[in-house]
Amino acid sequence: MKRSSWTGEPVSRRDIVRAGMGGAAALALAGHVAPVRAQGGDMLTFEQLYGKFSVLGLEFSEQVKRLKGRKVSMRGFMAPPLKAESKFFVLTKMPMALCPFCSSDADWPEDIVVVYLGDKQTFVQSNQTIEVTGTLEVGSWIDPETGFVSQLRLTDARFRSV
């Protein structure tokens, strides 16, 4: 599998340019590349995120309300970062093309989870199932750097391929 870096910290543009010139080789990346074992926590599935879907607003499930602020694990697929320097990635239920229709970063399905990593880790291919463990944050949040709006997040997270 080809790998490039995934980092929990901003990557400078120069790093990105360098990586581009060097092909798919790893970016400047210090440590933390070894596969990490999931740290446990309650398992949560994509089907369990919302209790109610409605045009006038969704409702978080009882499980999500109960697990808010606690360590949970979820399995899904890693969508590539919106911008190389963004600090988060999007965990999706199915591998997906980013906004297949309009080149906008606004058109994600409702059932996504945004993952903020605790430490740097390498990007894995979108075809690969991963398990992410982190602290479940619930409620609207606008990423200050990208303006990306999310409802559910796993913070201080780690992931492993499964």
Partner 1 sequence: MRHYWLVATAVALVPGVAGAQAIYPIDRATILSGSKFDFKVEFPEVVKEADVKVLVNGEDHASVFGKKAEFTEKEKDANASAIRLNDVVIAKPGTYKIEASVAGQPAKSVTWEVYGTADKPVAKNVIFLIGDGMSVAHRTAARIMSRGNTQGKANAKLNMDYLPNLAFIGTSSTDSIAADSANTASAYFTGHKSAVNALGVYDSRAKNSLEHPKQETLGQALRRAAPNKKLGIVTTAEVEDATPAALVANTRKRADKDKIVGMHFAVLPDVLLGGGSAYFLPQGTPGSKRKDDIDYIAKFRDEGYSIATDRDSLIKSAAETNSGKVLGLFHTGNMDVLLDRQFLKRGTVDKFPNQPGLVDMTKAALDVLSKNEDGFVLMVEGASIDKMSHPLDWDRAAVETIEFDNAVGVAREFAEKHPDTLVIVTADHTHGVGVVGTIDDNKPGDDMREKVGTYQDAGFPNYEDKDGDTYPDDINVSKRLAIFSNNFPDYYETWRPKLDGPFVPAIKNEKDEYIANEQYRNVPGAVLRIGNIPRSGDTGVHAVDDVVLQSQGPGSEKLKGYMENSDVYRVVVDALALGAKQ
User: Taken in order 137, 142, 144, 145, is the CA torsion positive or negative?
Assistant: positive
- Give the 3-state secondary structure of residue 46: helix
Q: Which residues bind partner 1 (CB under 8 A)?
A: 2-4, 24, 50, 53-60, 79-80, 94-98, 100-107, 109-110, 123, 125-127, 139-140, 142, 147, 149, 151
Beta bridge partners of 134: 72
Contact 45, 53 (CB under 8 A): no
Cβ distance to partner 1 smaller for residue 56 or 162: 56
Cβ proximity to partner 1: between 69 and 139 the closer is: 139
* Beta carbon nearer to partner 1, 39 or 53: 53
**CB of residue 40 vs partner 1: minimum separation in angstroms?**
27
What minimum distance in Å lies between the beta carbon of 26 and partner 1? Answer: 10
Backbone torsions φ then ψ of 129, nearest 5 degrees: -70, 135
How many angstroms separate the CA atoms of 23 and 18, rounded?
A: 9
Distance in Å, CB of 2 to partner 1, minimum: 8
Determine which helix (DSSP H) or strand (DSSP E) holds 92, and give its type and residue range.
strand 88-92
Q: Is 48 or 125 the residue whose CB approaches partner 1 more closely?
A: 125
